[in-house]
Structure 1
């Protein structure tokens, strides 16, 4: 059945093939015509863009939808600056909950506090009126928990990463996380997913890559999210992070056996596997590697055998080295070209030297990266410097160097680790704390749009072109437009960076394959 045609006219289009274009015609989910208003064909319906900018919609290449939705409605701790403020926030939030509820919060980051000392499990429980409390650190690789939650998980004391203070990492963190989130009902999870996807659509995001797995979300959570993909919300492309789990990933409807398949932890929790010890951790501590070279190799071979994309979460340089050695081992078995054809991924890729970047080029690895990591934690006086030292911190998140040698990039947020904020991410990539690693706004925008589609092997998406899917976003651009893209940075170079005052675009509408999934003012 043919759907009514819609003409969007009177705008500014990001259309490199026709820079003069001010209008486009949508028919049956595709762009049927592009050009200037005066030459526009007749249509069943006309939408006046009133000078708004139209661009390809964004793709967020790494999200956790359920966690994002719960964080949007839960206790946001990203703004607290001390242990006292954290306890006050818990006390206020818990006061509105039933006595048997679990207090779920997210986002604290002690690396930016004047006094980085954290409250212990007893103090946390006291603030929450005796309730069970689970507060994930910004990285989601560790958490503060209350004495009541520890008591509810007696097995946690023998798990790796346990600390009686209540700041738990590694296996101990997984134990308490499972217990805390076990209190969330299925209906609440579904509502959280819907909330997260609707929020993404309101930001001009038309597709997300969900990174699930046995240590992240249960199978019902994962398949339930995939079931609503594109039904009035952004499309969802799922990755299931289970070692040697290619067959299972396919059974669950995933596009890949990767995503958060952990080769290591996170820098914020000092669990990322690094080659030189953390400066602010236990003497000699280098984090933790969770897979061997042989396991990486065998997982990739499993993916090749099943014809499915594979990948790993790898942050520290030692973990990335392990992953690349595994790629080399797999290439010895099946050949480099067959391995490259899988377009396998590495998530985060935060600490990379030239040799590692060369490995990404050799094996055709897609780097799924988060520019907001540098914006929040890079540069002098921030978390990366505290953990690694300034010189090593400036080598982190080398997206500019990777882009310059042809590494395929796909940008995202890792939400709720950092907020869904696509234009903020584009600006962060253009204003990297290390000038050597900066990208042009145009290149960063491509990584956050077309790069996300290419990462799921949909190479013809993410452009405004004749015959392409009608997937785009409409923007108010308070700072103006420059050559088909919004102005994101201050004219004065001294004002550019993490605190750039230039107002970011505001989404007016998001269209996915011709269907409006978000419209300003319409709930």
Structure 2
């Protein structure tokens, strides 16, 4: 019997579903798991060159996979004016000023990550930037990437003024005289491409590398990029950067790319996407653009999420605004039917209950035309789902792609969203438990950089439906809580399934790749209110340690799977 190259023992083992196994050791050779054996027998599989890792009670889990994120844009913003760490409007302005001082040679101030709840009405003004930076042009995307904040000089250069009309898919906040106030929602944030500096391919690649290292430190070894197209953070072609990274060997993880459906174009995109997918298959085995992302609606905090009932005004009266749908219903059905027939997975941004319904209607039309498929379509975000639609996920084979970190009371929800929705809307928010009970397959993602990519912070809220340290009532009620096992499964075997990687990742079983995360303390043993204290202690790709928290804290270099340091 050949000896194992690596043995991990001394802690519970989560295999990707159910409760962890105790008294179990995991054997690894050639980058793959060769067996799970009783811990007492582990030494029988050790040779003189075997590395034995004592987990010291930590949980061994399949590495996490994120089913919806934007890591290249996140990485670029990390290298620009990064406002994601600000806790107030004052801190946001301090970070902008510090960045401007640090990079006087950069004509434009670009970046993002500001939070709507830090500014009255969620809409910061141009004057704040003008007073801080004078005539230096500034464009800063907000944290959810559904709006931007611009200075007067940026508007002047773009020719944006009181005469500029709102685009069909967006809205400009305006001052009393009609001049843009400084905040541009949805499609209105794209009024600046003619003057805003682009991102070089080298800078975009550096952003991808920065994001990859940040994600490995959180136990994430694979993801679905939910915007592979033009425009995210000014990147010209995200698909091309992934291909370059894969060809150079610097892409350590596996990525499923969701090709961006351009909402101002039509069915001609299908053939273009087929060609792009075929081209990538020849050159980048760990990058597969086999998905198409369709943004059906906006977000609730700026009243562009598509709802079945209109938003209320500040006085609580119903308005004529029920949000925006970016792809007309008939075209959505036609596009989804054609993409399904072509073997694409469709990834819907569906946040409001009307957007959810129209997405499910499109999948129903595709199934009627094509029959059941193995394409594994999924709807992401699901802030509101009408009760009549919950059972349709299982009926149509559609997965629920959940961003659990949002499923709690917090300022943006309580101040900018709930007061403007219909009575009883709070009970329909992020109905994870209901979807589970009605047979929907749950997969998990973060939408980073909209919020942290850390799966363990999301775990805390999925289980508690409250943020750490807060005593709010659980958002949506107790019935919407998930168990630790259910959420861990969604972020491992569930997301591996949605990424078409479940044949060799997402589970701990013989023959699977040894893509692993070690988590301490063991979240299965923690009280629910302490789940947020769990951290990733180490991350492994094919049996090689690519992140070690203890070494990172000491400043020691970690040798990665490709031999770099």
Q: Pick the TM interval, shorter chain.
A: 0.7 to 0.9
Aligned to 2:14: 14
3-state SS of paired residue (2:408)? helix
Does 2:158 correspond to 1:162? no
Does 2:308 correspond to 1:275? yes
The verdict on how the C-alpha distance between 1:415 and 1:437 changes in structure 2, with shifts beyond 3 A counting, is same
The verdict on how the C-alpha distance between 1:92 and 1:129 changes in structure 2, with shifts beyond 3 A counting, is farther
Aligned residue pairs total 501
Equivalent runs, 1:124-139 vs 2, <5 Å? 124-139=129-144
**Distance apart, 1:118 and its partner CA:** 4.2
3-state SS of paired residue (1:301)? helix
Aligned to 1:305: 341
**Distance apart, 1:417 and its partner CA:** 0.3
Moved more, 244-253 or 182-191: 244-253
Aligned to 1:175: 191
Aligned to 1:5: 5
Aligned to 1:224: 241
5+ residue gaps, structure 2, are 174-179, 281-287, 466-474, 552-556, 559-565
Aligned to 1:498: none
The verdict on how the C-alpha distance between 1:472 and 1:84 changes in structure 2, with shifts beyond 3 A counting, is closer
Distance in 2, matches of 1:391 and 1:81, equals 30
Aligned to 1:233: 252
Distance in 2, matches of 1:162 and 1:393, equals 28
**Distance apart, 1:166 and its partner CA:** 1.6
**Distance apart, 1:167 and its partner CA:** 0.7
Aligned match for 1:201, one of 187, 196, 216 = 216
Aligned to 2:40: 38
Aligned match for 2:509, one of 452, 461, 465 = 465
**Distance apart, 1:502 and its partner CA:** 5.0
Distance in 1, matches of 2:490 and 2:404, equals 11
Equivalent runs, 1:4-153 vs 2, <5 Å? 5-15=5-15, 19-40=21-42, 41-43=45-47, 44-51=49-56, 52-78=58-84, 80=86, 83-98=89-104, 100-111=106-117, 115-116=120-121, 118-153=123-158
Moved more, 127-136 or 360-369: 127-136
5+ residue gaps, structure 1, are 491-500
Aligned to 2:562: none
Aligned to 1:476: 520
The verdict on how the C-alpha distance between 1:226 and 1:345 changes in structure 2, with shifts beyond 3 A counting, is farther
**Distance apart, 1:300 and its partner CA:** 1.6
Distance in 1, matches of 2:348 and 2:149, equals 26
The verdict on how the C-alpha distance between 1:463 and 1:117 changes in structure 2, with shifts beyond 3 A counting, is closer
Distance in 2, matches of 1:502 and 1:310, equals 33
Equivalent runs, 1:419-458 vs 2, <5 Å? 419-432=452-465, 433-434=475-476, 435-458=478-501
The verdict on how the C-alpha distance between 1:172 and 1:410 changes in structure 2, with shifts beyond 3 A counting, is same
RMSD: 2.9
Task: Show CA shifts across 1:207-254 (max 9, x none).
Answer: 111112445445632232254358563321111122644443341534
Equivalent runs, 1:489-508 vs 2, <5 Å? 489-490=528-529, 502-508=531-537
The verdict on how the C-alpha distance between 1:429 and 1:246 changes in structure 2, with shifts beyond 3 A counting, is farther
**Distance apart, 1:58 and its partner CA:** 0.6
Aligned to 2:352: 316
The verdict on how the C-alpha distance between 1:26 and 1:226 changes in structure 2, with shifts beyond 3 A counting, is farther
Moved more, 416-425 or 384-393: 384-393
3-state SS of paired residue (1:350)? coil
Question: Contact 2:229 / 2:238 at 8 angstroms: preserved in 1?
Answer: no
**Distance apart, 1:411 and its partner CA:** 0.7
TM-score, normalised to structure 2's length?
A: 0.81
3-state SS of paired residue (2:46)? coil
Aligned to 2:526: 487
